[in-house]
Amino acid sequence: MPVFITTLMEGSQAPGVPLWEPLVIDRHSELHRRPMVPERDRPRTVVGRKTARHPTNAEAISAGLEFLSSNWHEKVWGETLHVDVAAAAYILLLLGEMPKDHLNPRFRGKISEAASQLAKMTFNPGLEDNLHVIGLAAAALQQHKQPVPEPWIDFIRRCHRDGGGFTMHPRNPRQENSAADVNPELTAIAIKVLRAAKLSDLELLAQHLRNDGVGNACSPSQLFVASTIFDWEAGIAPRSLINQVRKMAECPVRPDALEKALLLRCLVRLRILNAWTIAAELRGLQQHCGSWNGSGMVPGLADRTVSTDASCQVQVFCVTATVLSALALEGSQPGLYFGSDLPYRRL
């Protein structure tokens, strides 16, 4: 309905226009009566003639934590811990990021107990001497405010390559590791644990994040590295590397829960408005049991997973924990409003 105003003062009408003819001043007044609603509050799914409301952030997080808590009994978690220690450490790392008010006291106790068990584990130099396990285990202990054993720190340092980056195994003094042995995901994790980086390490990660092809989708490895960069101690990542992450975050991603969650962790830190849309899509991908399924394993864990029934459960745990951490980050940004991704006005 257009809004009309009539000319009431004699002589104010235009020539040839009757005194009481309405003048249209707004043909789109419905835009003023309909407030702009954030994506998170908009229902998306239509079932029959009724609209099915997607869960809110709080509801999705609550259901996801209930799924993890209900499966955190000795049998499942014990198998997870012994089948893939790196995956167990990754889950503990992400749960350590969750706000305390999201976790009930009983579940918090289980998480703390698991972190203590992880700290007491000793790794066999002949079997478990790889950065997948020790790097993630050290990061998890740091997240839970527990000291990292000095042998672990020394092991991580020995995995550094002189030309930049970290490898899965310590370098052989007799034979320098080639550039092909460098692992970008492990490099990002090692920098997080050591809280320091060399220029050659940063250049290697920047090169890994470059996506020169127009319209090319981000790879899971790129998303994992970018997400981990924002977990570094403040001041380590230079502005040029953050700008490279921003460019990468503008590339499309596949409709996969894991990749969308890793992207959301970046968008929230970059304060990009598209975070709302990605969060809404993630909530729509949640299973009835409260979990999320992904088509692949977390990049930093890909080489550690064996094809067993227990490893499938590990994958569901890891993807669910990744999504929960991303949604918790998105919900903790009250300042993210329409236009907040625009450049600040110079005063």
2 Cβ neighbours under 8 A, 6+ residues apart: 24, 26, 27, 29
E strand or H helix at 292: none
Q: Which listed CATH number (3.40.50.720, 3.90.1570.10, 1.50.10.20, 1.10.3720.10) goes with 58-331?
A: 1.50.10.20
Residue with the bigger pLDDT between 314 and 146: it is 146
Residue spans of beta strands (DSSP E) within the chain: 3-5, 23-26, 45-47, 50-52
CA distance 307 to 273: 38
% of the chain at pLDDT higher than 90: 49
Measured CA distances, 18 to 2, 152, 194 (Å)? 19, 89, 81
Q: Is 218 in a helix, a strand, or coil?
A: coil
The Cβ of residue 201 has, within 10 Å, a number of other Cβ atoms equal to: 24
User: Does pLDDT of 37 surpass 50?
Assistant: no
Are 322 and 293 in contact by the 8 Å Cβ rule? The answer is no
The Cβ of residue 69 has, within 10 Å, a number of other Cβ atoms equal to: 17
Single pTM value for the model: 0.79
157 Cβ neighbours under 8 A, 6+ residues apart: 194
Are 231 and 195 in contact by the 8 Å Cβ rule? The answer is no
Residue with the bigger pLDDT between 45 and 227: it is 227
**Average confidence (pLDDT) over 71-97:** 79
Interhelix angle 199-209/184-194, nearest 10 degrees: 140
10 Å CB burial of residue 323 (0-12, 13-18, 19+) is buried
Q: What is the pLDDT of residues 110-127, one digit of tens each?
A: 899 889 888 887 665 444
Domain boundaries, the chain: 1-35, 58-331
Please report the pLDDT score of residue 213 as a whole number: 56
CA distance 248 to 201: 18
Q: What is the CA radius of gyration of the chain?
A: 26
- 24 has which bridge partners? 4
- 294 has which bridge partners? none
**Average confidence (pLDDT) over 66-94:** 80
User: Does pLDDT of 13 surpass 90?
Assistant: no
